[in-house]
């Protein structure tokens, strides 16, 4: 502090380095995006195919029935609905352990208006249940919808899981 006015030299390049923390600073670690850690959106054909196979497997385990034999809903409709939808998933190495499907209702029915957002399939492998994976996926999906100003979301759920979904504000 000599009392002299300091001036900036325009030729100086600003550089920020701090003990190798730059990769974390770029994504504002640990704050921004931390709530989504491990959640991926199925965007490639391989990812979508893997998610659809996961839902088929879970359906078979839960209901002892193949998608192809589901009553009142043709397999082609289930498949086409899935490919029009968004899917988010959490994997451990190459195994999907939890996934959620978000679709837009395109057919008229008695409980979901056409054009509505629908959480249609939410599943977690049995050995991973109770560890918060489904909760993370639901929160991510509802956050995604809220950013699009969508305030009403429908849900297809098993009766045995009603209390779980009510904890997110869903009503029966």
pLDDT tens sequence across 76-116: 877 888 888 899 999 988 899 999 999 888 887 778 888 88
Q: Is the pLDDT of residue 63 over 70?
A: yes
Q: What pLDDT score does 7 carry? A: 65
Q: Note whether 125 and 136 are within 8 A (CB).
A: no
Question: What percentage of the chain reaches a pLDDT higher than 90?
Answer: 25
Report the number of secondary-structure helices (H) and strands (E) in the chain. 5, 5
Average pLDDT over residues 12-20: 47
pLDDT of residue 6: 64
Which tens digit of pLDDT belongs to each residue from 140-155? 898 888 888 888 888 8
Q: Which of 130, 141, 54 is nearest to 96 (CA)?
A: 54
Whether the bond between 104 and the residue before it is cis, its omega within 30 degrees of 0, is no
pLDDT of 16 strictly over 70: no
At 36 the pLDDT is 60
> b or e along 33-68 (b: 16 or more beta carbons within 10 Å of the residue's beta carbon)?
eeeeeebeebeeeebbebbbebbbebbeeeeeeebe
pLDDT at 135: 92
Return the higher-pLDDT residue of 111 and 7.
Answer: 111
Mean of per-residue pLDDT scores for the chain:
79
Please tell me the pTM assigned to this model: 0.72
Answer with the residue of higher pLDDT: 126 or 2.
126
Query: Cα separation of 98 and 129, whole Å?
Result: 9
């Amino acid at each position: 502090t000599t009392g002299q006015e300091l001036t900036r030299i325009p030729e100086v390049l600003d550089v920020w380095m701090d003990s190798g923390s730059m990769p974390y600073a770029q994504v504002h670690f640990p704050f921004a995006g931390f709530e989504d850690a491990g959640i991926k959106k199925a965007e490639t054909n391989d990812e979508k195919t893997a998610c659809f196979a996961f839902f088929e497997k879970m359906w078979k385990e839960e209901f002892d029935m193949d998608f192809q034999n589901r009553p009142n809903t043709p397999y082609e409709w289930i498949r086409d609905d899935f490919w029009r939808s968004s899917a988010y998933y959490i994997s451990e190495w190459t195994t999907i352990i939890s996934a959620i499907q978000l679709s837009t209702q395109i057919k008229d029915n008695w409980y979901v208006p056409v054009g509505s957002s629908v959480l249609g399939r939410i599943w977690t492998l049995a050995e991973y249940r109770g560890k918060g994976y489904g909760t993370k996926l639901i929160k991510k999906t509802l956050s995604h919808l809220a950013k699009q100003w969508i305030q009403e979301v429908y849900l297809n759920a098993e009766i045995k899981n009603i209390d779980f979904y009510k904890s997110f504000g869903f009503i029966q």
